[in-house]
Amino acid sequence: MRKQIVAGNWKMNTNIQDGIKLAKAINDFASNYNLENKEIILAPPFTHLSSIVKEVDPKKISVAAQNCAAWEKGAYTGEVSAEMIYSSGAHFIIIGHSERRQYFNEYNATLFQKVKICLKNSLHPVFCVGELLAERESDKYFEVIKRQLVEGIFGLDSENFGKVIIAYEPVWAIGTGKTATPIQAQGMHKYIRKLISEKYGVTIANETTILYGGSCNAGNAKELFAQPDVDGGLVGGASLKANEFIEIIKAL
């Protein structure tokens, strides 16, 4: 049975002290909560990774980075490698977030490089795909998502693809307060699962966790997560408030 996950993407928010407080509050909740087939992931900034890893119970909460370098190591001043991230105790990594695509010119070929380096370093990629508002309005969204998947991740063999989580995050819904309707989310998730099935077979498709992201909050999470192909959420803004994030976890 595929895992259900709620992942919090803290983006460039919190200092280390506030990040630790936030992680502690979520860990306190998780320690008394039956997670069964569910998983919580926290994705703080790089600077917080090893501190947050020490704060949380690894049986309940995993830690993720939000990005990594497209190279293994060497003279790339300011970059952080997948190996460094894994050595911090993080086991997941967000790759291809729309803010990376938009502000840092990360395109599918670079993202595929990153995915391969992450897997080589035992990090599980949370690979993000999503269409722009204009692409949604001009009915190009299925074709855009297909291209992001084909170029960004479908070059993996089956064994490695089995280690990946997909996050569908329509760009028009990220940080805008405008959520995809449960029907829109389900329509895209079902399509993504169909593409995975065509490429890797039905067993792998049914085992792949596909998260929804885009203004997911305590008020809309339950309805979104109730969709048959929505396996949880990648949450931005609402993951910065412990109480709200906890409500989202309870909606799984």
Three-class DSSP category at 73: coil
Running DSSP on this structure, what letter comes out for residue 3? Answer: P
Q: Which one from 48, 97, 124, 189 is the annotated catalytic residue?
A: 97
Nearer to ligand PEP, 86 or 212 (CB): 212
Least spacing, CB of residue 38 vs ligand PEP, in Å: 19
Running DSSP on this structure, what letter comes out for residue 123? Answer: P
Binding mask 119-158 for ligand PEP (x = CB under 6 A): ----------------------------------------
Q: In whole angstroms, what is the distance from residue 11 CA to residue 4 CA?
A: 22
Residue choice 174, 188, 196, 251 for contact with ligand PEP (CB under 6 A): 174
216 binds ligand PEP (CB under 6 A): yes
Residue 239 in tokens: 């993951």
Q: In whole angstroms, what is the distance from residue 179 CA to residue 225 CA?
A: 13
Nearer to ligand PEP, 90 or 205 (CB): 90
236 binds ligand PEP (CB under 6 A): yes
249 binds ligand PEP (CB under 6 A): no
C-alpha closest to that of 88 among 109, 66, 106 = 66
Would you call 91 exposed, middle or buried from its count of C-beta atoms within 10 A (0-12, 13-18, 19+)? middle
Subset of 4-43 contacting ligand PEP (CB under 6 A): 9
Q: Which range binds ligand PEP by CB under 6 A, 57-65, 114-122, 146-154, 233-241?
A: 233-241
Distances (CA, A) of 198 to 6, 161, 191, 195, 204: 27, 13, 11, 5, 10
Catalog residues that contact ligand PEP under the rule CB under 6 A. Answer: 9, 169, 174-175, 213-216, 234-238
Active site residues: 97, 169
